[in-house]
């Protein structure tokens, strides 16, 4: 056999062998990371990164950016993201855009941020699309443009991004509460929750209606998920609005109150809720449980006591209201009581719900 041909075949064999070894080592590093052996993962990823493995390089950057087992080092992460982004890695491009828009590890530069987000989005990175939706939606370093925001949001949701699906559902519920819109939002939230997103479970609680068991189960599962209180694992601009100290304290207080209420239930109710929590916690069961337990109701007309016939006339009438999750009793100055249902307003990017007080 020709010696040149032998040399070429040997080179090809070594190339594929090297690729197989890298793949095996990358899998070992991923396994260490998933088991939270961050020191072991960092060592393995770093060794691969030094050999030119771009995916490993991005993982090392992530570990330093999210301070997983090591002190946070944004400068090191910035350098690694830059190197990988310039080589065309879509995840690194999104992270680099995030670093530029926030001035992390370097100088704040909105123009560079937009450039990297768009390069990443062009490679169908759904988190980059979601960041562009946030930029145009909130006017973060670019003029507000709701049409562009919705375009990127819809594209990210179509790609299967769970956060985008949850945000799009919240946007739909903010705009319209008719049966068709509720059904569309419900389907999006099912998809999002099936990927384990706590914020989706929290919004699905709104569909529980008078089913206290399901409402409690949704809340318990939501508060067990990392995205509500844990460290965000993606460079998404909405995290900056969600994971504020005030928000975290609010979540902790709600979680504590939830646990207190749960302890006051009788054993039968606890058993029912625990069974629902067990089912809902299994990603592949979410849709089945929801389809079984929830009936999407068409928007109902507010029910009233006394048919509302006792409401005082005139423009200066006064009233007070007591509400629980949007179910309100409005008491007028003449003693008339009317039951009304108010719809929640949702901040799509933080998933926080608030119920406005009913007017007199």
pLDDT tens per residue across span 343-352:
666 565 555 5
Residue 56's nearest CA partner among 83, 74, 35 is 83
Q: Are the beta carbons of 199 and 239 closer than 8 angstroms?
A: no
* Per-residue pLDDT, 264: 84
Please check the confidence at residue 154 and state whether its pLDDT lies above 80. Answer: yes
Sheet holding 319-324, edge to edge: 319-324, 327-332, 337-341
What is the CA angle 100-106-110, rounded to 5? 25
Asked if the model's pLDDT at residue 302 lies above 60, the reply is no
Q: What band does 188 get if pLDDT is binned at 50, 70 and 90?
A: very high
Q: Residues 341, 304: contact at Cβ < 8 Å?
A: no
- Tens of pLDDT, residues 77-112: 999 999 999 999 999 999 999 999 999 998 899 999
**Does residue 338 sit in helix, strand or coil?**
strand
pLDDT (0 to 100) of residue 219: 85
* Rounded mean pLDDT, 267-281: 88
At 278, list the tokens: 């067990």
- Residue 236: is its pLDDT beyond 80? yes
């Amino acid at each position: 056999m020709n010696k040149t041909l032998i040399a070429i075949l040997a080179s090809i064999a070594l190339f594929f062998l090297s690729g197989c070894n890298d793949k095996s080592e990358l899998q070992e590093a991923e396994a260490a990371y998933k088991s939270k052996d961050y020191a072991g993962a960092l060592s393995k990823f770093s060794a691969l990164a030094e050999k030119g493995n771009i995916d490993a390089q991005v993982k090392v950057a992530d570990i330093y950016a999210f301070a997983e087992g090591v002190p946070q080092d944004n400068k090191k992460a910035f350098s690694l993201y830059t190197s990988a982004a310039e080589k065309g890695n879509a995840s690194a491009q999104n992270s680099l855009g995030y670093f530029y828009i926030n001035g992390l590890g370097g100088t704040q530069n909105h123009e560079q941020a937009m450039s990297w987000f768009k390069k990443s989005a062009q490679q169908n990175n759904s988190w980059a699309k979601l960041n562009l939706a946030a930029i145009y939606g909130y006017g973060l370093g670019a003029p507000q443009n709701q049409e562009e925001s919705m375009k990127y949001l819809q594209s990210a949701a179509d790609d299967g991004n769970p956060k985008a699906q949850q945000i799009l559902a919240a946007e739909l519920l903010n705009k319209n509460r008719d049966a068709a819109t509720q059904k569309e939002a419900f389907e999006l939230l099912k998809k999002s929750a099936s990927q384990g997103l706590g914020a989706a479970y929290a919004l699905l609680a709104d569909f529980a209606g008078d089913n206290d068991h399901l409402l409690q189960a949704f809340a318990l599962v939501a508060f067990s998920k990392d995205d509500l209180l844990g460290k965000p694992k993606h460079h998404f601009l909405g995290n900056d609005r969600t994971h504020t100290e005030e928000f975290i304290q609010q979540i902790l207080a709600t979680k504590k109150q939830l646990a207190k209420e749960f302890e006051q239930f009788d054993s039968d109710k606890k058993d029912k809720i625990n069974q629902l929590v067990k089912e809902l916690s299994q990603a592949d069961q979410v849709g089945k449980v929801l389809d079984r337990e929830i009936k999407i109701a068409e928007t109902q007309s507010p029910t009233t006591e006394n048919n509302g016939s006792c409401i005082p006339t005139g423009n200066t009438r006064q009233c007070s209201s007591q509400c629980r999750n949007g179910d309100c009793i409005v008491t007028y100055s003449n003693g008339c009581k009317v039951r009304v249902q108010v719809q929640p307003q949702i901040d799509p990017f933080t998933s926080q719900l608030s119920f406005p007080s009913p007017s007199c």
